[in-house]
Amino acid sequence: MQRQVAISPRATGTFLGVPDMPLLGLGLAALGRPGYINLGHGNDLTGKSVDDMRGNTAEVLSAALGLGIRYFDAARSYGRAEEFLGFWLGSLVPEQLSRTVVGSKWGYYYTADWQVDTGGQPHEVKEHTAANLRKQVAETSSHLGAHVTLYQIHSATLESGVLDAADVVSELETLKRQRGWKMGLSLSGVQQPLTLRKALGVRMSDGAPLFDCVQATFNLLEPSAGAALAEAAATGMSVIVKEALANGRLTVRNTNSSFAPKLALLQHMADKVRYAARHNTAHHNQAEWRCREDGVTNFGPPKYGTTVDALSLAAVIVQPFHPMVLSGATTVEQLVSNAAALELAGRLEASDVAQLVSELAQPPQQYWAERSALAWN
């Protein structure tokens, strides 16, 4: 296992009622199937057989737990992600298992049949019906059993009508009461804020809110859901952020020429000198770097000294709605780089985050159009 990374107090919080949770989780969208839309995903996989990917998933999950990551997020449509996750959970000793928190989703089903090139057919299909909910609850339970803490509607939208479906809402209330599962929903598209605000009004039969958690896309390119997520957090809902790296578009893998100026800013910021150099002649006339943090004077080169991916993730972790931010890593190497955000969050200056959001944010319509054009690979 990887050794646990330093975790800033700023990168911990209460999540789904569990205190002191590191605010970096692992999403399995790219781990449970050979095809996904992350940039360069295909090159990350050394083997694409079921056994190869099961082994890789277990390796990444074990590395995550070793790094201090404790929340794991799957879905019925992520190929065999639930199966792989359940297999790995079954290998843990009780002390390890007690540290994990597991979420999954219903509402899409996987149709790619372990293929990457589906001839233009969709890799997953949405069905937000009560019948599909019952079917997928049984499937999730067969793989994850008693490990489930959070169950989410996958990509709830106003168009799907799922939030107005009385039979679905009733089924979710029953699951919440009988199984003790927390209820959540994930969001996608330009109408994320509108969908979330509608979800805040969904009530159970006793008038209590149905939803305990919301999962949304929020990143330096697409921060438009921020105000709505803050509203949800203020009501007591937990917040999960997916696609914090914009499916690789906020990494050095994004070689699109139009992104080059933004990548240059990210790279410059990642290596930014945090405090000015000072020359101290009292110390043998040698240059001395001073860094003051938490009232302690440290000596050494005080840089962020980080990677673009860790910077992009840390900028989301420090948002005022205290989100659980998902890494979408496919390899241990990617995960270790991502996990550096847990320490960086404690040093990241608000002015730098504000500058990044100001200079990188796109209109939501542009962001989602570009996402829709990403190739499955």
Q: In the beta sheet, which residues pair with residue 303?
A: 273
Taking only the tens place, the pLDDT of each residue in 302-323 is 469 999 999 999 999 999 999 9
Taking only Cα atoms into account, the Rg of the chain, rounded to an integer number of angstroms, comes to: 21
* pLDDT tens-digit series, residues 169-214: 999 999 999 999 999 999 999 999 999 999 999 999 999 999 999 9
How high is the pLDDT of residue 273? 57
Answer yes or no: are the C-beta atoms of 135 and 216 closer than 8 Å: no
pLDDT above 70: percentage of residues in the chain: 91
Q: Which of 197, 174, 201 is nearest to 187 (CA)?
A: 197
Q: What is the per-residue pLDDT for 303?
A: 66
| Contact (CB, 8 A) for 84 and 51 | no
Sign of the CA dihedral running 7, 11, 16, 19? positive
Answer whether residue 296 shows pLDDT above 60: no
pLDDT value at residue 5? 86
Res. 301 pLDDT band, cuts 50 70 90: very low
Q: Give the three-class secondary structure for 33.
A: coil
Other CB atoms within 10 Å distance of the CB of residue 177: 12
Instruction: Output the furthest CA–CA distance in the chain (Å, rounded).
Output: 77
126 forms beta bridges with 108
| Extended beta strands in the chain, E state | 12-15, 18-22, 24-27, 71-73, 101-106, 108-110, 124-126, 148-156, 182-187, 213-217, 238-242, 277-279, 287-293, 296-299, 324-327
